[in-house]
Structure formats: structure tokens, C-alpha cells
Amino acid sequence: MSQPVGAPAAQSHPLPSYLQADHLGPWGNYLQQVDRVTPYLGSLARWVETLKRPKRILIVDVPIELDNGTIAHYEGYRVQHNLSRGPGKGGVRFHQDVTLSEVMALSAWMSVKNAAVNVPYGGAKGGIRVDPKKLSMGELERLTRRYTSEIGLLIGPSKDIPAPDVNTNGQIMAWMMDTYSMNTGATATGVVTGKPVDLGGSLGRVEATGRGVYTVGVEAAKLTGLALEGARIAVQGFGNVGGIAAKLFAEAGAKVVAVQDHTGTIFNSKGLDVPALLAHVKTRGGVGGFAGADVMKAEEFWGVDCEILIPAALEGQITKDNAGQIKAKLVIEGANGPTTTEADDILHDKGVLVLPDVIANAGGVTVSYFEWVQDFSSFFWSEDEINARLVRIMQEAFAGIWQVAQEHKVSLRTATFIVACQRILHAREMRGLYP
């Protein structure tokens, strides 16, 4: 039963050690964001502890036989942060620096993001601590299949639906879908999204996150009077999110002047040839060695003269050490968690407008939702329909968040958290505690 307004706050108990903020890093950053939103939650604040504890954490050992005959063990995770609004939804990351703290934070940001764009999902995330670039295709397939079997306890089309994230793609989703289907005895296309189109994937899914980044960028530019034509853009990360966002901004007349990825930092004040750079990255694996640009020192990237900065690589990139150098008027967070809380404050004080990850990169999960709906109904939409629905959802969500930010005089991050956490905690309250 719901409690009346003004009911006493829930009694707090010490947090398990792995949830404490002194395990800093992404989870600590997320906890600070929750603390900032709590004063705006009204009577729902009594449920806020729910947001500070993932519902389920699964840590799995993933053993595989390498091509040379040795057995290697990798650590894998699946975290379901909150399922109040629906099944878990969130990507799977393969990266050598994946940690439990990171996966927990990413799962929590998925809860917030899914609620911010009002898709009927809770938040989840998974990952394996591995450098997949060191594995052969066969090893990668064995790793993916064993991981999928190990997390099979949690995932399913109406339970928890993984998707691609850093270093995972349509092929890996196809192996995940096949493994789950083999284990359950029926083809279950709806168990993952981001699949190839021939396997129940959706048109427009590959471009969706970048398109969402672009869409909110256009809206923010309109609201702040920033002309996109000729605007200079710097992008960190030139993969699925950064590459597509750069392409769309360039097509709209902006100049992508600097790009940084794990292979180098490149610069061209006249604007990089984005289609040529995308083709280069496809064959060479990164921007390093691109002929149409000068090489720049990595640490100079953040101080590049530009109007728009798009971090689209990993979390914790904009910190108190480099935020002061940023010259952009608009930062659009394609990546999850790229800005630390201290850096967020520095940018705010400098008058830089930050479009936070929890709305800016929500285009991917929005089209994942469309993919899931199409798989359930076995009826597929055209790419134009997908893109039109995506743009409408992103525009409406962004407009609502903008209004909340104006009303409460808070940052767009806090405004997004206000909208999303109210939705999550209201669902929590309406459902009540079981038993």
C-alpha cells in the first residue's frame, strides 16, 4: 500500500561494501547524481534507496579453450539495476577495463535513460573483462556463447534483453540469440536487440544512437541560437555512436575539425572528410594514419576551438583536469558517463550547456524497443517509419526535460533525473513491496 505524503523516510541500513561510494569510479559518479535529484522527488524520496542498490548482480566465470589449446578464464557480469517499469534492458560491453562498478553504473544509467524516453523497460547492463581485439573470431564466438549460457539465468525476451555496446555488434548479438534459442529449444529473436536485419533486427538500429545524439543537438542548437551551418565539432570516439553522429552533423553543414579514438587524435581546421574517415576506420580499425588531417597531441584534444564537443568513447573522460580547457558551447554526451560530477560543475560555471547521456544517447535503446516490438509482432516497419518515430520520441522527451530544467533552474542532467526517477519510483510505489 502506498504511504501518505510526509511519511517517515525508510530506515537506512549500511550499504554492502561493493555499493559504497568510496569504490569511486562510475558507480560513485552515479550516486552523486542521485543525491542531487533527491530534493526534487517530493514524497517519492522515501523510495530513493531503491535507486542506490541494483536489484540483482550476477558475476560469472567464462572459461573458453583458446586456439592454442590453453584454457582461459574471463570474468563476466550481468547487473539488473531496476525492473519496476518493465524487463531489464541494456547493452553488453567487451573491454579489458570492465569492472563491476562500471557495469553497475551503466545498468543504473539504463534505468534512468529508459524512463527518460518512457520506453517500458527497467535498466540492466552486462560485460566481460576482456580485450576482444586479442581474440580470433572462433575464440570470440566461444566466449560470447559461454557468457550467454552463464547469464541465461537472467535474460529472456520478457525478462532482460541485452544489446550491443563497446566492442560488441550485430554478429555478437546473433551468437547470443542463437545460444539462448538453442538452450531454450525455440528461436527467440526478442532476447537481444541490435541483431542483423536478416535475423529479426530493425532497420535504422545501427544508426539510431548517433541519430538521437544529432536530434537532441539540433533541438538544443535551436533553443540556444547556435547555427549548425559551419559549426565546428570535435568528437571523441569514432565508433558506432561518434562516427554516425559526426556523419549526420557534417551532412547538416557542420565541420568536424577534430577526432580522437584509441589509435590517435587528428585535426583539420577546414573540416575532415567524414565519409572518407569512416571508410578509413572500417579498413584500418581507427582514425590513426588518416591522410586528410594533421596529428594532434592527445592532451590537446579537449582544448580544440569548437562550438560542439561530442564525447562518444568511454566514461570518465571529461574531468576536473581538462574541463577548464573546453571551449565548446555545447557538449553532447554520446558516451555513457563521460563527465565526472566535478567536471559537470566546472562546465556549468563556464556556461557550457551539457546534454547528458541519459537523454542524448537514448536513441539506441529507443530503436531497440522498436526492434523488440517488431520481433514480438513479426511485423517490420520501414526505415522512414523507424526514423520518424525515433525523432518524435527524442524531440518530445527533450522538450519535456528542457521545461523541467527551466522550472527548477537545474542542469539538464538533474532535470532528466527528475523526470526519470519520478517515473521509476512512482512505478515502484504503485507496485508496492512484495511480500
Please list the active-site residues: 125
Binding ligand NAD by CB under 6 A: which of 33, 50, 215, 260?
A: 260
CB closer to ligand NAD out of 314 and 346? 314
> In the bound complex, what is the minimum distance in angstroms from residue 9's beta carbon to ligand NAD?
33
| Rg, Å, the chain Cα set | 21
Q: What is the DSSP string of 181-209?
A: HHHHTS--GGG-SS--GGGT--TTHHHHH
- Interface with ligand NAD includes 25 (CB under 6 A)? no
Angle between helices 341-349 and 26-37 (to 10 degrees): 60
Residue nearest to ligand NAD (CB): 239
The beta strands (E) that lie in 184-342 are given as: 232-236, 255-261, 264-267, 294-295, 308-311, 330-332
CB atoms inside a 10 Å sphere around CB 415 = 25
- Interface with ligand NAD includes 170 (CB under 6 A)? no
- Interface with ligand NAD includes 314 (CB under 6 A)? yes
| Binding segment (CB under 6 A) for ligand NAD, from list 76-84, 134-142, 164-172, 341-349 | 164-172
> In the bound complex, what is the minimum distance in angstroms from residue 430's beta carbon to ligand NAD?
28
Q: What is the DSSP string of 19-79?
A: GSTTS-SHHHHHHHHHHHHGGGSGGGGGGGGGGGS-SEEEEEEEEEE-TTS-EEEEEEEEE
Contact status, residue 394 vs residue 362, Cβ threshold 8 Å: yes
- Interface with ligand NAD includes 313 (CB under 6 A)? yes
Which residues within the stretch 356-385 sit at the binding site for ligand NAD (CB under 6 A)? 361, 364
- Interface with ligand NAD includes 241 (CB under 6 A)? yes
Contact status, residue 148 vs residue 106, Cβ threshold 8 Å: no
Measured in whole angstroms, how far is the alpha carbon of residue 278 from the centre of its chain? 21
CB closer to ligand NAD out of 135 and 335? 335
Which residues within the stretch 325-344 sit at the binding site for ligand NAD (CB under 6 A)? 334-336
> In the bound complex, what is the minimum distance in angstroms from residue 427's beta carbon to ligand NAD?
22
CB atoms inside a 10 Å sphere around CB 351 = 7
CA atoms of 318 and 17, how far apart (whole Å): 27
CB closer to ligand NAD out of 254 and 313? 313
- Interface with ligand NAD includes 101 (CB under 6 A)? no
> In the bound complex, what is the minimum distance in angstroms from residue 251's beta carbon to ligand NAD?
18
| Binding segment (CB under 6 A) for ligand NAD, from list 49-57, 67-75, 144-152, 160-168 | 160-168
Binding ligand NAD by CB under 6 A: which of 76, 237, 316, 356?
A: 237
User: Considering CB under 6 A, how many residues would be counted as binding ligand NAD?
Assistant: 24
CB closer to ligand NAD out of 28 and 286? 286
- Interface with ligand NAD includes 120 (CB under 6 A)? no
CA atoms of 162 and 29, how far apart (whole Å): 23
- Interface with ligand NAD includes 286 (CB under 6 A)? yes
CB atoms inside a 10 Å sphere around CB 320 = 13
CA atoms of 67 and 263, how far apart (whole Å): 27
CA atoms of 44 and 39, how far apart (whole Å): 10
CB closer to ligand NAD out of 50 and 122? 122
> In the bound complex, what is the minimum distance in angstroms from residue 116's beta carbon to ligand NAD?
12
- Interface with ligand NAD includes 312 (CB under 6 A)? yes
| Binding segment (CB under 6 A) for ligand NAD, from list 72-80, 134-142, 232-240, 348-356 | 232-240
Q: What is the H or E stretch that residue 355 is in?
A: strand 353-355
CB closer to ligand NAD out of 108 and 425? 108
CB closer to ligand NAD out of 312 and 425? 312
45 grid coordinates: 524520496
CA atoms of 118 and 291, how far apart (whole Å): 43
CA atoms of 78 and 292, how far apart (whole Å): 41
360: left (phi over 0), alpha (psi -120 to 50) or beta: alpha
Residues in contact with ligand NAD, shown as a per-residue x/- string from 205 to 224 under the rule CB under 6 A: ----x---------------
CB closer to ligand NAD out of 196 and 286? 286
> In the bound complex, what is the minimum distance in angstroms from residue 144's beta carbon to ligand NAD?
15
> In the bound complex, what is the minimum distance in angstroms from residue 21's beta carbon to ligand NAD?
21
The footprint of ligand NAD (CB under 6 A) covers 164-167, 209, 236-242, 260-262, 286, 312-314, 334-336, 361, 364
